[in-house]
Structure 1
């Protein structure tokens, strides 16, 4: 697996960011709010991909997609919240005023 060559995509029909790795899909489920807020609901990485950096890459690239659309996030997912706490200086500008870590 060459994780560096893979890219996260926004599957808007299913409201999730997806990263296809070795025939499996890791994803972050989201819900678009009424304004420019995106609720980050759930992250799922298949068991056989855990511990390989897939989840962190998925979160980073999902946040890049959100940033490019000028949206703000409300992270409800514990995995994403933990990631944001560890990298708050890089991503605090993406947090909605209503977001809590």
Structure 2
């Protein structure tokens, strides 16, 4: 699998960011709040793809899509929260007002 050639897509219909992986999908489920902020609820990576950087790529590219859309986030998913905490200098400005990691 050539992870570098894969790109995360926003599946608006299913309300999730998806990364297609040789017949499987890694994804982040989201919900839109009344304020317009996006709640990142759950991340899932197929077991056969764990430990290969798929989750980090999915989160990083999802956050890039969110940033381009000028949307603020509320990360409820522990994996996403941890990623943002470890990369605060890059993603701190995406957090909705009052969100603490």
TM-score calculated relative to the size of structure 1: 0.97
Q: What SS does structure 2 have at the residue aligned with 1:71?
A: coil
Shift of 1:8: 0.3
**5 Å matches for 1:1-101?**
1-101=1-101
- Unmatched segments (≥5 aa) in structure 1: none
Give the SS at the match of 1:43.
Answer: strand
> After the TM superposition, which segments of 4 or more aligned residues of structure 1 sit over 4 Å from their partners?
none
Indicate if the aligned counterparts of 1:74 and 1:100 stay in contact, CA closer than 8 A: no
How far apart, in 1, do the equivalents of 2:58 and 2:48 lie? 15
List runs of 5+ in structure 2 lacking aligned partners.
none
1:98 Cα deviation (Å)? 3.0
Are the counterparts in 2 of residues 15 and 30 from structure 1 also a CA contact under 8 Å? yes
What is the alpha-carbon root mean square deviation over aligned residues?
A: 0.7
- How many residues are aligned here? 101
